[in-house]
Amino acid sequence: MSAASSRPARWWASWVRLLDTREPGTALALFRIVTGLSLTYALGSMLAADLVEVLWVDLAYGGYRSLEGRWLVRALGGATGAVVHTLVAITLLAGVLLTVGIVARGAALVAGQGWLALTTLNPDAMCAYDPLLTNSLWLLVLADSTATLSARCRLREGRWTSDRLVTAWPRYLVIAQLTVLYFGTGLSKISVHWTPGGGFSALYYILQQPSWQRADMTWLASVYPLTQIATAVTWLWEVTWPVVVLALWLRRHPDRGGRLRRRFVRLPIRTVYVAIGLTMHVSAGALMVLGPFSAITLAYYPCLFRAPELERGLSRVARRRPAPAR
């Protein structure tokens, strides 16, 4: 076999080996729990505000406009009150099952299709977190997310936590999805206000928009330079997020050498990006009404860490003795 033809074969073999990696399922379990809670909250808040009928039911049955819906809604007979409320109930139940960790893959599939059917009923009332949540639920169909921190674990092993190993590739897909989200939203920021030419004034003016603000935000004028710094940091952080994936990849084999790898192993790139992300999402949640967007996005963050790192962090938070490193 020639060198040229063996190189793709070697790449493929490395790819297969990478996907064979197994690890404790803590990160995926946390992703499942926060995603399930976010879905439950998203639907629960719709019910609490009595908005299901208004936004998702057709004009002929009590809504305010004509709605068509996707194949599932059409197959069930259209956006009538009964169909929509049944879909809400089933999706909500699936969200609860997903959170507690019973039949999680099936629950994620049902929840994903239910959520997709409901949120695409009225395109005018769609939020940015709707497709993100649908993506999360599909990733949970692919992942074994109940190995630990789940009712299934409790039933199988008599305790809530377990070191049982799961395949790591769904966690890699979660990281890929987060990267596409941040990088994509960074690339789409085309306004002059996001650039030095516009004085990095985007966040100041976005926070003046009545649509998302929690309260009057004119006070931000007194700290305008801070909003300029925040704008620059947010935009740079988003468009350079792929560097986190590169850092994670290079840190996977610190022993292999190379100047770039040595530099990336030394620099706390992931820590810096996660800290900025947490600050950004918490600030956005405090200043703006964005629904469960921050929670749905932050559900992805545990997957940036390997299980031993997460367990050490959780132990520290719980003020317990740190778990031994694997």
Partner 1 sequence: MRAGLVLVHLLAVGLLALPDARGIEESRASWANPTVQAELRAWSSRLSAVGWQTDPTTLRNDVLAVATSWNATVTTLRTPVQPYEDLLGVRQRWRMFVVPHRYPAKLHVDILEDGRWRTVYAARSPDHRWRGAQLDDVRVRAMLFRYGWERYRREYRAFARWLARRAGEDFPSAERVRIRWWGYRTPSPREVADGDAVPGEFRQTADVALARFR
Residue ranges in 129-158 that form contacts with partner 1 under rule CB under 8 A = 131, 134-135, 138, 142
Q: Can residue 239 be called a binding residue for partner 1 (CB under 8 A)?
A: no
Q: Can residue 161 be called a binding residue for partner 1 (CB under 8 A)?
A: no
Q: Can residue 84 be called a binding residue for partner 1 (CB under 8 A)?
A: no
Q: Can residue 10 be called a binding residue for partner 1 (CB under 8 A)?
A: no
Q: Say if residues 124 and 155 touch (Cβ distance below 8 Å).
A: no
Does residue 165 sit in helix, strand or coil? strand
Interface region with partner 1, contact rule CB under 8 A, candidates 26-34, 115-123, 269-277, 310-318:
115-123
Q: Can residue 260 be called a binding residue for partner 1 (CB under 8 A)?
A: no
> CA-to-CA distance for 143 and 137, rounded, in angstroms?
10
Q: Say if residues 213 and 287 touch (Cβ distance below 8 Å).
A: yes
Q: Can residue 226 be called a binding residue for partner 1 (CB under 8 A)?
A: no
Q: Can residue 127 be called a binding residue for partner 1 (CB under 8 A)?
A: yes
> CA-to-CA distance for 243 and 230, rounded, in angstroms?
20
Q: Can residue 98 be called a binding residue for partner 1 (CB under 8 A)?
A: no
Tokens at 14, concatenated? 């490395």
Q: Say if residues 80 and 108 touch (Cβ distance below 8 Å).
A: no
Backbone torsions φ then ψ of 25, nearest 5 degrees? -95, 25
Q: For residue 70, how many C-alpha atoms fall within 13 Å in the half-sphere facing its CB?
A: 12
Residue whose CB is less far from partner 1, 117 or 149: 117
Interface region with partner 1, contact rule CB under 8 A, candidates 93-101, 123-131, 155-163, 262-270:
123-131
Q: Which of 112, 175, 237, 311 binds partner 1 (CB under 8 A)?
A: 112
Interface region with partner 1, contact rule CB under 8 A, candidates 15-23, 28-36, 242-250, 275-283:
15-23
Amino acid at 45: S
Spell out the residues 6+ positions from residue 238 whose beta carbon is closer than 8 angstroms to its own: 182, 183, 185, 186, 189
Q: Say if residues 244 and 270 touch (Cβ distance below 8 Å).
A: yes
Tokens at 178, concatenated? 């987060």
Q: Say if residues 266 and 251 touch (Cβ distance below 8 Å).
A: no
Q: Can residue 45 be called a binding residue for partner 1 (CB under 8 A)?
A: yes
The candidate with the shortest Cα–Cα distance to 172, out of 312, 306, 297, 26, is 306
Amino acid at 266: R
Q: Can residue 272 be called a binding residue for partner 1 (CB under 8 A)?
A: no
Q: Can residue 162 be called a binding residue for partner 1 (CB under 8 A)?
A: no
Q: Can residue 8 be called a binding residue for partner 1 (CB under 8 A)?
A: no
Residue whose CB is less far from partner 1, 82 or 176: 176
Q: For residue 169, how many C-alpha atoms fall within 13 Å in the half-sphere facing its CB?
A: 9
Tokens at 166, concatenated? 């799961």
Q: Which of 28, 39, 55, 73 binds partner 1 (CB under 8 A)?
A: 55
Residue whose CB is less far from partner 1, 150 or 293: 293
Q: Which of 189, 248, 249, 308 binds partner 1 (CB under 8 A)?
A: 189
Neighbours of 207 (CB within 10 A): 19
Residue whose CB is less far from partner 1, 125 or 151: 125
Interface region with partner 1, contact rule CB under 8 A, candidates 148-156, 158-166, 210-218, 239-247:
210-218
Q: Can residue 12 be called a binding residue for partner 1 (CB under 8 A)?
A: yes
Q: Looking at residue 50, what DSSP letter applies?
A: T
> CA-to-CA distance for 103 and 92, rounded, in angstroms?
14
Q: Can residue 180 be called a binding residue for partner 1 (CB under 8 A)?
A: yes
Interface region with partner 1, contact rule CB under 8 A, candidates 99-107, 149-157, 202-210, 317-325:
202-210
What residues from 277 to 296 belong to the interface with partner 1 (CB under 8 A)? 289-291
Residue whose CB is less far from partner 1, 101 or 291: 291
